[in-house]
Amino acid sequence: MLLFIRVFLILYGLIAIGTGVHAMTGPYDPAIEPMADNSHRFIAAIWASTAWGFFYCVWDPSEVMLFRFLMIALFIGGIVRAAALIHYSPTPVIWAVILLELVPTPILWYMHSKLLITGALN
């Protein structure tokens, strides 16, 4: 179970760093309002920064509050993405991202809680 959790934490961390850095360093599009571009880059930096949290939890899986915060953040993000589907038709990539946020996170939370109860995280 711990290996499964660590693999997903690394995956989430790599996704956070990759998408965050890509969005932060992307070219400026003059068609987008400067304030929207600036806010998008700020949020991208926060997203990229969460990668440190994912990687820290790989190294120290007994960090319960950080782990749970990250799982809650991913799950809420997935719910918000799913709710936004009423505005457009999703591509397969969008479906994959939503499922990656909504399906594994409760499973990881459950597995982490079981390991915590058994004392396997200490």
**With a cut of 50, which residues of the chain have pLDDT below it?**
none
pLDDT at 14: 97
- Rounded CA separation 92/58 (Å): 29
pLDDT at 114: 96
Instruction: Domain of residue 22: give its range.
Output: 2-118
- Render pLDDT for 14-49 as a digit per residue (tens, 0 to 9): 999 999 999 999 998 888 899 999 999 999 999 999
pLDDT at 120: 87
Radius of gyration of the chain (CA): 16
Do 108 and 71 touch, CB atoms closer than 8 A?
yes
Enter the tokens of residue 22: 């890509």
pLDDT at 30: 85
Q: What's the structural domain count of the chain?
A: 1
Amino acid sitting at position 57: C
pLDDT at 6: 96
